[in-house]
Amino acid sequence: MIPMVDLTAQYPLIREEIERELSKVLDGAQFILGPNVQAFEQETADYLGVKHAVACASGTDALHLALRAAGIGAGDEVITSPFTFIATAEAIRYVGATPVFVDIEPDTMNLDPDLVRQAITERTRAILPVHLFGHPAEITPLQQLAYDNGLLLIEDCAQSFGATVDGVQTGAFGIAGCHSFFPSKNLGCYGDGGLVSTNSDAIAEELKVYRNHGSRERYYHHVIGYNSRLDEMQAVILRAKLRHIDSFNAGRRRAAHAYSEALGELPGVVVPSERPGMQHVYHQYTLLSDRRDTILAALREKQIGCAVYYPVPLHQQEVFKEDCKGQMLSVTEDIARRCMSLPIFPELNDAQIDEVTSTVKSVF
Ligand SMILES: *Cc1c(COP(=O)(O)O)cnc(C)c1O
């Protein structure tokens, strides 16, 4: 049996620190937005190479608060990827804006900048690329497009913590980078958590107001905000894990490269590619094959974890039917029919990798 993600494998490495620091939090009884959250925000800003990091309650909230802080609202269009988790587009809807889905590039499965250019209208206010599965989107051309057209660039980094483009971290390119600390993400806590990275003093200030009921000073409220805060216990866990994030991501890369080495020559199988200058952090290891369903069945038979991310692209989801009537995005639709993901986590060992790859190969 091999799970998709095995969080028990890394706990021994951080157990001592987490237990020690959690018991201090319990003794001190300060649970929300305390000194650990503040320290974690500073350590994350330093790690990402940005001026500010503002923690919040989830990755979904990070997207929502970032869009709100950026002033995006009713009547605005936000260009994004149809091949992502629903939260990306949900957040656009939360602020009353309209998601505009644009097709992806077949190798990285990320937004195609040429198609983004063609989709810009009078109403476009922002571009929201997703660094899907841990491979950075084509962020430099997207940044240029945003600049040339007076648009905001907001990054969905929920799957890309630690990924870089020419040495610069994802989340440091746009006006805001939105991170998720859901337990299975590259940097995960033991509950829900999120964070927005930004180089803008104004955006950071707005985020702090919105996450705490629209107040700058306690019990004085000038806008309607939210309850979206990180708690001290999650911050303790995140601080412990942040120290190891590069080695965790290196473990994911090592496992991914072993998979690709073993599976790259199989007929009709497309293994993940890595563009020059870009550091893929393999939140997922996703391959393409016309024989996907047969491979999935063989893996399930052996109780090896496997999944389809994502079977239904957002432009074909019931909830966006009205917006996307009949819209066809051929690259996305083709990939949704052929994609499948294998188990990936930093501690995946050689024996497990062998078992996964030999099971996949047995289909051919
Ligand atoms: C996980 C995820 C989110 C949402 O993060 P939560 O912390 O679960 O709210 C947003 N976008 C993408 C691409 C994700 O994978």
Structure tokens at 19: 């237990």
Q: Let me know whether 47 and 66 are in one domain.
A: yes
Closest CA to ligand 1's atom 1: 158
- Residue range 27-62, pLDDT digits in tens: 999 999 899 999 999 999 999 999 999 999 999 999
Note the pLDDT of residue 322.
Answer: 84
Q: Let me know whether 288 and 305 are in one domain.
A: yes
**Ligand 1 atom nearest 63 alpha carbon:** 10
Angle (deg, nearest 10), helices 87-94 and 59-69: 40
> Mean pLDDT score of the chain, rounded to an integer?
97
Angle (deg, nearest 10), helices 232-242 and 245-263: 60
Within-domain flag for 1 = no
Ligand 1: which residues within 6 Å by Cβ? Answer: 58-60, 84-85, 87-88, 130, 156, 158-159, 180, 182, 192, 194
Structure tokens at 261: 């080495």
Within-domain flag for 126 = yes
Comparing CA positions, the residue from 230, 242, 222 lying closest to residue 195 is: 230
**Ligand 1 atom nearest 91 alpha carbon:** 10
Rounded to an integer, the average pLDDT of 105-124 is: 98
Task: Classify strands 77-80 and 220-221 as parallel, antiparallel or unpaired.
Answer: unpaired
Domain of residue 42, CATH code: 3.40.640.10
Q: How far apart are CA 291 and CA 294, in angstroms?
A: 5
**Ligand 1 atom nearest 132 alpha carbon:** 13
Domain that holds residue 267: 245-362
Q: Let me know whether 202 and 276 are in one domain.
A: no
* Centre of ligand 1 from the C-alpha of residue 156, in Å: 8
Within-domain flag for 316 = yes
* Centre of ligand 1 from the C-alpha of residue 159, in Å: 7
DSSP codes of every residue in 213-281: TTEEETTEESS---B---BHHHHHHHHHHHTTHHHHHHHHHHHHHHHHHHHTTSTT-BPPP--TTEE--
Note the pLDDT of residue 277.
Answer: 98
Q: Let me know whether 59 and 207 are in one domain.
A: yes
What residues does 55 pair with on adjacent strands?
195
Query: Is residue 103 over pLDDT 90?
Result: yes
Within-domain flag for 93 = yes
* Centre of ligand 1 from the C-alpha of residue 180, in Å: 6
Which residues have CB under 8 Å from 48's CB, separation 6+? 169, 171, 172, 177, 197
* Centre of ligand 1 from the C-alpha of residue 266, in Å: 32
Closest CA to ligand 1's atom 5: 59
Rounded to an integer, the average pLDDT of 7-21 is: 95
pLDDT > 70 in the chain, percent:
100
- From 242, 268, 295, the end of a domain falls on 242
Query: Is residue 97 over pLDDT 90?
Result: yes
Q: Let me know whether 224 and 250 are in one domain.
A: no
User: pTM for this structure?
Assistant: 0.98
Q: Let me know whether 119 and 220 are in one domain.
A: yes
- Residue range 275-334, pLDDT digits in tens: 999 999 999 999 999 999 999 999 999 999 999 999 999 999 999 988 888 899 999 999
Note the pLDDT of residue 326.
Answer: 85
* Centre of ligand 1 from the C-alpha of residue 188, in Å: 11
Residue in 80, 93, 159 to alter for ligand 1 test, most ligand atoms within 8 A of Cβ: 159
Q: Let me know whether 358 and 222 are in one domain.
A: no
Q: How many domains does the chain have?
A: 2
Closest CA to ligand 1's atom 10: 87
Q: Let me know whether 278 and 330 are in one domain.
A: yes
* Centre of ligand 1 from the C-alpha of residue 362, in Å: 34
Q: Let me know whether 234 and 262 are in one domain.
A: no
Region label for 340, one of left (φ > 0), alpha (ψ between -120 and 50) or beta (otherwise): beta
Within-domain flag for 82 = yes
Closest CA to ligand 1's atom 2: 158
Within-domain flag for 2 = no
Within-domain flag for 207 = yes
Closest CA to ligand 1's atom 14: 158
Closest CA to ligand 1's atom 6: 59
Q: Let me know whether 200 and 63 are in one domain.
A: yes
- From 242, 260, 283, the end of a domain falls on 242
* Centre of ligand 1 from the C-alpha of residue 300, in Å: 26
**Ligand 1 atom nearest 84 alpha carbon:** 13
Q: Let me know whether 220 and 273 are in one domain.
A: no
- From 186, 216, 242, the end of a domain falls on 242
Q: Let me know whether 306 and 264 are in one domain.
A: yes
Domain of residue 257, CATH code: 3.90.1150.10
Within-domain flag for 132 = yes
- Residue range 164-203, pLDDT digits in tens: 999 999 999 999 999 999 999 999 999 999 999 999 999 9
DSSP codes of every residue in 273-291: P--TTEE---SSEEEE-TT
* Centre of ligand 1 from the C-alpha of residue 181, in Å: 8
Residue in 58, 60, 314 to alter for ligand 1 test, most ligand atoms within 8 A of Cβ: 60
* Centre of ligand 1 from the C-alpha of residue 60, in Å: 6
First to last CA, the chain: 22
